[in-house]
Chains A and B, each alone.
Chain A
């Protein structure tokens, strides 16, 4: 082992100094909410497999104010994920050329958001129709 102790530049909080990186950390952070929500659903699925009494315990649990508050927060994070996912899409997908011209970024982001809005409404309608 070397006895030399080279200077290591401290990195703690580096991203807080630049708004670009703050935004980056927030949109990466939405993954925590996506994971938490998936785990909530998985818990529900396990309770469902254990019969009606167990399922009702889980369903009642969702009415807990802490759960409600958490779901509001998750909703905000999910919406932000949707927005950033399509905002970044012009850079994550191969360039689309229409009539010899590259499709502008706002067209890709805009159509992505439009598809998301349509899919959400369709989903809500489907659930409403199935439950009625």
Chain B
């Protein structure tokens, strides 16, 4: 019997997948509606909802920062995990290269999000 079992890293990716999946299930549709449709088409919401002043204030607020970070990074970790596990189904070998592209992409985007949020300041 093996004395030291190698711990799997799967639970970490699965937890990020689950968190992002839950967040996007709860808020994804309304966020797409607000930022992608209501504001550009000037319906339902005030015209200056996403003005520079409003959005800068939101991104400088600590809660706003946390919200933006959670939405962008968790959405991407969710998608990366799901896409990675669907590769086999469409006939692409889900090996180490695919894993690096999927999870690596989410990691890079997460770091860019964090860096940009810090650069925007408090």
B residues 30-89 with Cβ under 8 Å of A?
Answer: 30-37, 39-41, 44-46, 48-50, 52, 54-56, 58-59, 68, 71-72, 75-76, 78-80, 82-83, 85-86, 89
Q: Is the C-beta of B29 less than 8 angstroms from some C-beta in chain A?
A: yes
Contact B29 A28 (CB under 8 A): no
| Minimum Cβ distance to chain B for residue A116 (Å) | 5
**Secondary structure of the A contact surface, majority rule:** helix
Nearest CB in chain A to that of B88: its residue: A11
A60 to B86, CA, bound (A): 35
Nearest CB in chain B to that of A34: its residue: B79
Report B-chain residues with C-beta under 8 Å of the C-beta of A81.
Answer: 21, 24-25, 28
A34 to B68, CA, bound (A): 15
A38-B72, A39-B109, A119-B27 known; A71+B50 contact, CB < 8 A? no
Identify which of A11, A31, A62, A86 gathers the most chain B CB atoms within 10 Å of its CB.
A31
Report B-chain residues with C-beta under 8 Å of the C-beta of A45.
Answer: 59, 68, 72, 113, 116-117, 120
Which one of A12, A31, A55, A74 lies within 8 Å of B86 (CB-CB)?
Answer: A31
Contact A42 B109 (CB under 8 A): yes
Contact B72 A78 (CB under 8 A): no
A75 to B38, CA, bound (A): 12
Contact A120 B49 (CB under 8 A): no
Report B-chain residues with C-beta under 8 Å of the C-beta of A71.
Answer: 32, 36-37, 40
Nearest CB in chain A to that of B106: its residue: A35
Contact B28 A37 (CB under 8 A): yes
0/1 string, B2-43, CB within 8 A of A gives 1: 000000000000000000111011111111111111011100
Q: Is the C-beta of A56 less than 8 angstroms from some C-beta in chain B?
A: yes
| Closest 5 pairs (CB-CB, A-B) | A71-B36, A35-B79, A31-B82, A38-B75, A120-B30
Name 19 A/B residue pairs within 8 A (Cβ), A-sorted.
Answer: A11-B91, A28-B89, A31-B78, A34-B75, A37-B75, A41-B68, A45-B68, A45-B72, A46-B116, A67-B40, A68-B36, A71-B36, A74-B36, A81-B25, A82-B28, A85-B22, A86-B25, A123-B34, A124-B33
